[in-house]
Structure 1
Amino acid sequence: MQYRLLKPELGHRLPTVNSTNDWIRNPEIPFGSWVIAEEQTAGKGRGSNVWQSLGEDPLIFSGKIRLSAAEISLPLVSIFISSALLKTIFRFFPERVDDTTIKWPNDIYKNEKKVAGILVQSEFINGVYDVVIGIGLNFFGKQIPDPLQDKASFLSDTSLSEGELERFANQLVVEINQAIITLLDPGQVLKDLVWIEEHSLLKNKVIETEWEERMVRGRVLGIDELGFLLIMTETGQKIELMDTSPKFRII
């Protein structure tokens, strides 16, 4: 099949929108399109959560691609989109290399606080995945709302220069496309997983989570070739997590 990756020339910029993910899901918007918005009034989070953009310089981004279901693991898509975002961050903010990481499966953290979230929504039709990629990144701001003081932060200590948001978005498109191409090569997938694990917030951490209707605690071993998180429990059992539960926490 013909893959439909993001096309630089199909970018849009909107002053305000309810949700960039909802906007780009419109059937009239062709695959390969992407959008950034200055304001989002009803941002999508995972499950029933809402994504709240913070500060004066947020990135509010969505893109629409089409993939072969036979060749792509959706959990890997999510973690590789996270790596694409982190690589873009490192290119523009090299000072963040030492303190900014991926929190499996799809968040970016600066130290112990969230600065970006990723929502990958997919629809399976006739052997293909129609995929919408939503990204929210808090670049810079002067104040974090009180309820989020212990949970969220800003990526940068200074505001963006003129045109930097657009340059960042264009480079992000390049990195997302490269991430998807990498997923088609099993050998390259394993190589990139090593990079992801080196930049993982959960590397060697002990976590607690709900698994098969019971609470388990264990040390993170890494991420497997399907994108699952590997855990060695206190009882010596090796388990695979496909996603986090509401009770997931780092000990």
Structure 2
Amino acid sequence: MIGHPFHILDEIDSTNNYAMAQVNSGQVTSGTAWFTSNQTAGKGTRGKQWLAQPGDISALTIALQPAMLPLSRQFMLSMAVALAACDCYSSYAGDETIIKWPNDIYWRDRKAGGILIENVLRGNIWQYAIIGIGLNINQASFPPDLSNAVSLRQITGKVREASTLARELCTFLDKRIRQLQPAGYEALLQEYSTRLFRWQQPGLYRINGEIFEGVIRGVLPDGHLCLEKDGVVMQLGFGEVEFIINR
């Protein structure tokens, strides 16, 4: 089960780095989770730094052996994790919790969290997935350069015990991971698509410096975004399109 065992670390540079080291040493079992409320050098996607305040849940990492999926289905795991994080956050923040493609967690048009999955491969064998999840929980405010961020405390007015919420997130993850069966791929993909930020709604995007209005029409099983522009549907990979959010 996801979150068994569940380790709480007093302070660490990155729970993903720590989990990776433990996996490489052969000292973990699938489903092991690490949590800290004091992460000093968290990692975001595409090499970005993940900034967190003490008391945040942004330092939760799970080591998973993805035996239920072939390597060609990597995006299905990312999708299931995003759905689980959205499930968990929405249980407190409500139905305005959504997923910004590919795996950021949003509340309305503001970022509430993100996901970073790093893979351990042995040849063509997908040995482990190191799943890092960050959700903004107890921040009272954010610096000006993070004006689009939001925390659960700002949404609900309540401070919560981050480690308790992290254990709850493991339960949501366990449920979603168990749904990763071939017969359920299409239903999961459809649910993921309909919970996307700007699903079937016009919005502004930028590609190669050009800003235009587009509409998200869906996501392919390999993770490509189907974005319609002027009646033509483009298939875009990660990092190929920027969402323009004016605040």
Could you say which TM-score interval applies, normalised by the shorter chain?
Answer: 0.7 to 0.9
TM-score w.r.t. the length of structure 2 is: 0.84
* Contact residue 63 and residue 134 of structure 1 kept, 8 A: yes
1:207 and 1:122 mapped to 2: Cα distance?
Answer: 32
Q: 1:247 to 1:228 in 2, by over 3 A?
A: closer
Match of 2:66 in 1: 67
Displacement of 1:246 in angstroms is 6.6
Counterpart in the other structure of 1:225? 221
Deviations 1:65-103 (A, max 9, x none): 122463652222222211101112233x1xx22321111
2:16 maps to what in 1? 21
Aligned equivalent of 1:76: 76
Q: 1:246 to 1:232 in 2, by over 3 A?
A: closer
Cα pair distance change 1:50/1:57, threshold 3 Å: closer
Map 1:120-199; keep pairs closer than 5 Å. Answer: 120-129=117-126, 130-148=128-146, 150-156=147-153, 157-160=157-160, 164-186=161-183, 188-199=184-195
Contact 2:35-2:57 at 8 Å conserved across structures: no
Count how many residue pairs are aligned between Structure 1 and Structure 2: 235
Contact 1:55 1:142 (C-alpha < 8 Å) held by counterparts: no
More helix by share: 2
Separation in 1 of the partners of 2:221 and 2:89?
24
2:28 is matched with which residue?
30
Segments of structure 2 that go 5 or more residues without pairing to the other structure are none
Specify the SS of the correspondent of 1:200.
coil
Q: 1:119 to 1:248 in 2, by over 3 A?
A: same
Question: Which segment is superposed worse, 10-19 or 121-130?
Answer: 121-130
Alpha-carbon distance, 1:228 to partner? 2.3
% identical equivalent positions: 23
Instruction: Name the residue aligned to 1:3.
Output: none
Alignment check: 8 A CA contact 2:11 2:36 kept: yes
In structure 1, the partner of 2:50 is: 51
| Contact 2:38–2:53 (8 Å) recurs in 1 | no
